[in-house]
Structure formats: C-alpha cells, structure tokens
Structure 1
Amino acid sequence: MQKIKIGFLPLYIKLYDDTSPELRPRLEKFYEQMADALEKRGLEVIRTPFCRIEPEFRKAVAEYEAQNAVCIVTLHMAYSPSLESAEALLQTELPVVVLDTTMTYAFGPDQDPDEIDYNHGIHGVMDFCNLLKRGGKPYAVAAGHWEHSDVLEQTVCCVRAAAAARAVRGSRVGVFGGCFQGMGDFQVTPQELAERFGAELIEASADEMREYTRSVTEEEIEAEICADRERFRFPEPIEDGVYRANTRACLAIRKWIEAKKLDAFTVNFLKACPAYGIDTMPFLEACKAMTRGIGYAGEGDALDAMLAGALIRTFEMASFVEIFCPDWKDDRLFLSHMGEMNYRTADGTPEIRMRSSNYTDSVMPMAGYACYRPGRAVYANVYRDETGYCLLASAVEMQQITDDKNFDSVIRGWMKPRIPVKDFLRKLSEHGATHHSLLIYDAEPEQLLYFASLLHMKGYII
C-alpha cells in the first residue's frame, strides 16, 4: 500500500513565546515524537514549525498544498486562538483530521500544576472545531492519550478515509456486459458518475473483449497457472482445458484493466460467455484484482466497484460483499456472492474449485472459495434516497468459523451486527439500502461517515 502524505500542523499561541519561551523545547520534542509515531504507522509526514499567527498558518497550508498532501492533521500544542488558523483551514480544499491528545496521561490532584502549561490544548481544539463547524468544513476528530489508547491508529484510519474520498475523484471504472437487467438499486449512468463523483465509466464491447481474449498467449496462461499453484489450494482435480479457458478469461480481463488504466471494474456474469468475447466468468481475476487494489462489484455495479477500489487502496482490508441469508437462530447474517471476494480478507488460503452451476453456455467457471476472516469491521452501504446519496455504516463482528465444511464451495462469512438482526435488517430497508455493500476491516463507523461527508453524502450509523 502506498504511503499517504499528510501535513502535520502544530497549533500554538504567540503569547507563550513572548512570555514563557522556556515551554517550547519540551513541546517541540512532543510534536516530533507524534510525527515519528504517525510515520511508524505508515504515513508520510510533512513537518512544520509551530504556527501561532495567521500568516504562519497560511504559509503552512500553502506548503502542504504544494507538496500534494492528502489531508492536514492538526495537533494543539497549547491553546491556540481559532481566528488565527480558521481562515487558512476553511479556505483550503485539504480535509482536516484533528488529533486531540496531550503528553501527560494522569491529571489528578497529585499532579504537578506546572503540567498545565503542557497539557491544555484540548480547549483550543474546542475553539478550533467550533469555527470549522460553523464554516461548513468537514473534519474528523480522534481523541485519547497517545500512549494509553488507540488514538494514533484512529487518526491514521481517519487519514485513510480522507485518502479514499480523494481516490474516488478521477476513478476510471470499467463495465463489461452492462447491468443485470431489472436490477435497479445500484444503477448509475456515465453522466451521473462523472458529475457526482468525478469518475469516468468505460464500457467494453464484445468485439473489444474478443481481441483481448485472442491476445492471451499460451505462455501467459501457463505462467498464471503456475503462480496459482503456489498461492492457492486445490482440493480436487480440475480438467486442464477448463482451467486454461478460465485463465484465458481472467487474463483477458487483466489486459483490459491494464490497457484502460482502470481503478475498478464490474462484470455482468450473464454476458461472460463466448458470444460476448470471453470464455467464461472471470471470478478469479475479480478476486486477484481486489488484492492488487482494483475495485470490483458484481452484476454491472459501477458505483460500488468505484467505492470498493477507493477503500481497498487506502484501507487494504476491504471487500465487496452481499448479505444473502439471515441466521435467525444465532442472530447473525450470512454473507456470500457467486465467487468474488478480496483475498486479503480471507481466513486462510482460498481453495480453487469448479462452480456447481452456470447461467450461460460458457465453459464452467471456477473460483477460489474462502471464509471471511474473523475480526471487527464496518459494514457500509451507499444508496440514494429522495434527496441524494447516503452512506450507512455499522460496526460488526465477523465471526470465527471452524465448522463450515458444508460451505467449502461457497464464498462465505457470518456477520454479527451490534444490534439484533431483525432490527438491523429493518433499519437497512427503512433507509433504502441497496443489496450490494462493502466490508472494511479495522475501521470505525465514524471514519466511514467522514469519508461520506467529504463526498457530500449524508451519513448514518446503525
């Protein structure tokens, strides 16, 4: 994953430099300590001298813009009058993430009162955020002690959300086979995708895909099969001709992705057949592409493919998902799809198997099946209501599964929401959520709402 560049803005007050210059060395050391900590968590940090008055803030922000930072992370070193910084932050297009922390952990009656000078930035944060809110600037806040909480990890996740929103703009989304006929909840026109999200929809014709298929060489097929033998399990034999046809289809899609410089793509499985220029449905390439940071969603869903690509490239542990069945007994939901998942989210090594059914006259498709790995995640759904685009986010737990032998030929996962399944499903449909969704591991709903706000979507937490 490429490092995300941030401007790290230390807010201070000139009064203290004029009256108590001895405070600065310890505070500067803490700022550097926080910059190092963010770098160790995968960010590229642009450091800045302490900013106290408006011209210093404007200079810092201009530097961040010039260096193509993704966002600005602020750290109040002390109280800082908000009118000194507000205009520079309100006028820049760079998103803002507020790191709300102080150097000292305990501040009870036994603390040295001199520590007040080094630990009172939080009311500066309140002053600052009030002006951001009044000015209509989207921002995120991560609060907690830097050493005794996960505030630094949460800060990084907020930065990733900002980077994901930025990645949506300019996305190139490929569509092969159009949308599944009659499936209306996620459909979006090329014009709407361009005007609303700044993304370009690129459709592939059957003739174009036929040329990509013809261009795949036997040597390329053999090399891909050899690579598969190293990274997947094969519990049962697969006929050589079928495997080669599936691999040719996958490589044709890959050539299309590379030729068109796609950031995401979607395939209508009903058109993945020889009549439309491809041997069969390229399930394996959909999965492999997601592990490379290319977004994917099924059935011609360009919207969720675009969003999946942006989130996978920034959070990495994210995938296109679909709720299939309720487990009323154990109060959880079964996630699945025909054969697509981001293998980075798999629990163990995927197993390559033939599908048990086919909906076209193509060669029988094969897929790499696995269970979603256990852990906390956010279930996210982007949909449209009568006012425009919205995002729902819900904290969920993907469950540890050990007895899923019955499902070894199925993409599978069991998701437990924080509220009863009956209420979760009711709320989803009351909002108008679509049937295609996204799963983002190691994130929080508030970070997805920040992502939504940067794309001018309304956000809701279930």
Structure 2
Amino acid sequence: MATPPVPPRPLPAPRPRIGLLGIMQPLYDAMLPGITDHQAEYAHRVARHLSDTADWTVAPPVRGREDAERAVRDLENAGVDGVLVVMLTYGPSLRVTGALTRTRLPLALANIQPDPSVTAEWDMADMTYNQGIHGAQDTANALVRAERRFDVITGDWQSPGFAERIDRWARAARAATALRGLRVGVFGYPMNGMGDARVDETALLRALGPEIEVIAPGALHRATLDLGEKEVAELLAWEDEAFEVDPRLSAKERDDHARMQLGIERLLTERGCHAYSTHFDAIGEDGRFDRLPMAAASTLMAQGYGFAGEGDVLAATVVRAGHVLAGDAHFTEMYAMDFPSDSILMSHMGEGNWRIARGDEPLRLIKRPLDIGGLADPPTVLFRYRPGPATLASLVALGGERFRLVVSEGEVLDAPPLPSLEMPYGQYRPDTGVRDCTEGWLRAGGTHHMALHTGHRAADWRALCDITGIEYVRV
C-alpha cells in the first residue's frame, strides 16, 4: 500500500502532556520510615512505564492540603492537558478536594496499586504500600458530591490494557485542551438558510472554548497578491510529486489555486486559527476570485487544519478535534443511501482529507467543472476513501451551552468506483445498518456535515465527551 505524501507544512501535533499527582499522608511515617521516598519512586515508575502514551510531569507526593494546592497550581503553570491522580497510600479526601474541584484540568483517578496480586509474603508494609483503593473511594466520593467530572481507570498499571485506556484518556484530555484554545476562521459568512450549522458563538466559547474569527474575503484577496513567486513554485513542485496532475490544468489555474491555498494558510497562521470554513457564495459573490479553493481545503486538512464548508463552525471544530484526538480527520456528508449494499455514499463538493485515501490508487489533482459559486473550474484532489473500519462524528448545538456528539461506527466498503463522480468519496456501511443508523441520526439531531475517521474511534470520542460534558449519542 502506498504511503500518503507528507503535507508541505503540517501543523504541530504535540503529544499529550499529563501531570501525575500522587497522594498520601504523614500517618505512616513513624511505622515505615522512608515511605514517602519509597512511594514517590513508585509514582515515577508508573510515569516511566506509560511514557509511550504522554509526556509526564510527576508532582512531589501530596501529604496535606498545602501540598495539594501547590502541586495542582504548578501542574497548571506547566501547561499539562490533564491530571492523573494516583493514591500512593490512603489519603483523606478533604485535603485534596479543594484543589481538585477548582482546577479546570481534566481529571482521572488511576485505581491502581504497586503490586498486581496479594501474596502470602505480604506484611503490614506491603498492605500500606498497596492500600490506595480506599483513598480513591474517599476522593471519588468527594468529587461526585462536588459534581466534578472525572474518569476512573482501574487495572494492573503494567498491563497493556491499562496503558491503552490511559492513552485514550490522555488523547481526549489533549483534544479538550485544544478545543479550549481553538480559533475557527470563517471566510465571509455562513450559508443562508442552513440551520444545523448555526450556533450561539458565545455559548460555544463558554461551553467548549472555540472562538470564531471572521475573516473578510478582501483579506484573502490581498494575501494572494502578496505571495512571492518562490512560495508558489515550491507548492506546485510539491504537488507534482504528491499528485497525478491532470494535464488539462493550465499554469494559470494551478497558480491561482496555489495562491488561494497559501493565502488561506497565511491568514490562519497570522490569526492563530487551527480550523476554518469557507462558503462558496462568500467567495463567488466577492467578485475578485476566479475559482473556489477546493484543493486548498484538501491539503490544509491533510496538514491538520479543521475544515468545513459553507461557514459551518461546528463541523470545522469537530474535524480539528478529530485531528488532535486520533489523527487524520476528514470532512464529509451523507450524500445518498444505497440500500442493496446497506451503505451510504459519503462525499462533499470537492474537499476531502487525502490522508484517508486508499493506497492502491493515485491521488489525482484534476480539472473539474463545478457550477456552484458561478466561478471557473476549481482544481480538485480526487480520491476514494480507504476501505476498512471507520467512524462518523457530528457536533450538535442543542441551545444554550448544551452540545451533543452523534457517533456511528462501521466500515468503508471496497465498492466499485463511480467514474463520473469527480470529488472525494466512499461508501460507508454503519454497524447498525442504514435504517437504524440514519433514523437514530435524525432523531438525535445529527447534522449533515460531519467528521470521518478511519478506524473504530467511538471510544475515543466518548472519552472526549466525558471530559468536556458533551452529551454522547451512538447510533
């Protein structure tokens, strides 16, 4: 299978940064001199063992309220994405409740102990070292009573299954942090009359964090004019290597497309946006553009930007969250149902993340007629989705600060090609079948724009919902 080309300037994809907060108390010092150092080393062993899942910052053992306040404050200042609480011994909950309920960082309780099994050789020291579970119970009770969201991860900390769950939670914590700092650029204005993409932007900001940055089409026009010939030439040379380029594309068409892509990227970088949306009418009615930036959206998505068409901030947000959560999210919509194969044809006007393309066919940059927008033919990256497990996710605004994520798992079929379809596409078969999936989607208010991932990612999306308070609905 061919390896997808590396995008020209991928966005940084930082690993999760997680703080480990170990809790104990001075009660056992006289009975077991050196217990604090002993259990501190245990905390560091846990972090070292989990080093493949995240970059870890291990706080000094918390033995009292002042320790807890200082440790949580230091972890916040260190910029961690979440805090994993580990009971090093029993620790009374009231000494840590204040610090844990005030922090905005995602929390998880690791219900673990140093030794995986109770043996005949255990003495009172071993009992003390391994008694974390009732400290976890005490602390969890306090968090529940405070209505503070948290996750619980139980198991042998040296097992692959435990590492897998920590990895999922850490990635979800990283995605939640990314949402809190996300800025979504909207070029022009959203599509008139399209209701499921509309959202109260102040409620979105308060509940999840994304901020909307409106960017005038004139700013994009000026950005395309300010580009140097070297930048354009470098992008075109990269495309020549990455894509099978349609010989019908003229030098003028490719130059124009490249300038729009680079102009969008420059504005997103200058304004700190990691997601964006364009609307064909906003581009077409401006009067200064020859064509729509279709290929631009495909490569910018492949670089890690969230994207959605028609000014859809919600979909752009969920695509960016998907990039951070699991990598290579793709913008799409349900175009038509195919009942004989129990599948749904997925596509959009011409935008698609070519990182999810099947590897046995070339990525093609084609000259493609498109009447929408009333402009000239937009160069478009054409590919079919890679067959195999897949997941759909839709972010729904329910009013006020209530949001819902509608999720479906299934597979992309190895279906026959559709030769006349000149845009990225694939046929998705839901695990629950077309009828139950689409009926559930409609009843839950799932939107018509969504993110698609290769792989089964429902558990990842659920972890993000648990952290952020988004309602999770699987159909």
Q: TM-score range by the shorter chain?
A: 0.7 to 0.9
Are positions 1:379 and 2:408 aligned together? no
Q: Secondary structure in 2 aligned to 1:182?
A: coil
Q: Report what 2:381 is aligned to.
A: 368
Aligned equivalents of 2:253, 2:270: Cα separation in 1: 26
Pair 1:211–1:98, CA change in 2 (3 A): same
AA aligned to 2:470 is: M
Q: Report what 2:66 is aligned to.
A: 55
Q: Secondary structure in 1 aligned to 2:151?
A: strand
Are positions 1:68 and 2:79 aligned together? yes
Q: Report what 1:295 is aligned to.
A: 306
> 136-145 or 305-314: which moved more?
305-314
Contact 1:388 1:457 in 2 (8 A): no
Structure 1 counterpart of 2:368, from 355, 358, 367:
355
Pair 1:402–1:52, CA change in 2 (3 A): farther
Structure 2 counterpart of 1:98, from 104, 109, 118:
109
Structure 2 counterpart of 1:429, from 442, 445, 457:
442
User: Could you report, residue by residue, the CA deviation over 1:305-357 in whole angstroms, capped at 9, with x for unpaired residues?
Assistant: 13432442453332333222333333333322222233333333632223343
AA aligned to 1:436 is: H
User: Could you report, residue by residue, the CA deviation over 1:257-289 in whole angstroms, capped at 9, with x for unpaired residues?
Assistant: 233332221011233348443231112221222
Aligned equivalents of 2:342, 2:130: Cα separation in 1: 45
Contact 1:139 1:450 in 2 (8 A): no
What are the residue-to-residue correspondences of 1:232-271 with 2, within 5 Å? 232-234=243-245, 237-271=248-282
Contact 1:79 1:124 in 2 (8 A): yes
Aligned equivalents of 1:377, 1:167: Cα separation in 2: 23
Q: Report what 1:325 is aligned to.
A: 336
AA aligned to 2:45 is: Q
Q: Secondary structure in 2 aligned to 1:88?
A: helix
Q: Secondary structure in 2 aligned to 1:360?
A: coil
Contact 1:172 1:200 in 2 (8 A): yes
Contact 2:337 2:345 in 1 (8 A): yes
Contact 1:378 1:393 in 2 (8 A): no
Structure 2 counterpart of 1:344, from 337, 355, 360:
355
Tell me the TM-score normalised to structure 1 length: 0.86
Structure 1 spans left out of the alignment, 5+ residues: none
Pair 1:236–1:106, CA change in 2 (3 A): farther
**Between Structure 1 and Structure 2, how many residues are aligned?**
459
Aligned equivalents of 1:191, 1:54: Cα separation in 2: 36
Give the deviation of 1:130 after TM superposition: 2.4
Contact 1:213 1:277 in 2 (8 A): no
Aligned equivalents of 2:110, 2:452: Cα separation in 1: 26
> 69-78 or 98-107: which moved more?
98-107
Pair 1:326–1:197, CA change in 2 (3 A): same
Aligned equivalents of 1:196, 1:76: Cα separation in 2: 31
AA aligned to 1:204 is: I
Structure 2 spans left out of the alignment, 5+ residues: 1-12
Contact 1:331 1:421 in 2 (8 A): yes
> 272-281 or 45-54: which moved more?
272-281
What are the residue-to-residue correspondences of 1:28-427 with 2, within 5 Å? 28-41=40-53, 43-105=54-116, 119-188=130-199, 190-194=201-205, 196-234=207-245, 237-273=248-284, 275-348=286-359, 350-374=363-387, 376=389, 378-385=391-398, 388-394=401-407, 396-399=409-412, 401=414, 403-404=416-417, 406=419, 409-427=422-440
> 251-260 or 233-242: which moved more?
233-242
Pair 1:56–1:195, CA change in 2 (3 A): closer
Pair 1:215–1:148, CA change in 2 (3 A): same
> 218-227 or 349-358: which moved more?
349-358
AA aligned to 2:473 is: Y
Give the deviation of 1:72 after TM superposition: 0.7
Give the deviation of 1:299 after TM superposition: 1.0
Contact 2:390 2:412 in 1 (8 A): no
Deviating above 6 A after TM superposition, structure 1's stretches of 4 or more consecutive aligned residues are 22-26
AA aligned to 1:411 is: P
Aligned equivalents of 1:408, 1:123: Cα separation in 2: 60
Contact 2:199 2:397 in 1 (8 A): no
Tell me the TM-score normalised to structure 2 length: 0.84
Identity across matched positions, percent: 25
Q: Secondary structure in 2 aligned to 1:150?
A: helix
Give the deviation of 1:148 after TM superposition: 3.4
Aligned equivalents of 2:286, 2:397: Cα separation in 1: 34
AA aligned to 1:391 is: R
Q: Secondary structure in 1 aligned to 2:197?
A: coil
User: Could you report, residue by residue, the CA deviation over 1:204-243 in whole angstroms, capped at 9, with x for unpaired residues?
Assistant: 3343332223223443322211011122233765333322
AA aligned to 1:457 is: I
> 435-444 or 301-310: which moved more?
435-444
Give the deviation of 1:292 after TM superposition: 2.8
Give the deviation of 1:376 after TM superposition: 4.8
Aligned equivalents of 2:314, 2:358: Cα separation in 1: 27
Give the deviation of 1:63 after TM superposition: 1.5
> 119-128 or 64-73: which moved more?
119-128
Q: Output the aligned Cα RMSD.
A: 3.1
Aligned equivalents of 2:387, 2:40: Cα separation in 1: 41
Give the deviation of 1:194 after TM superposition: 4.6
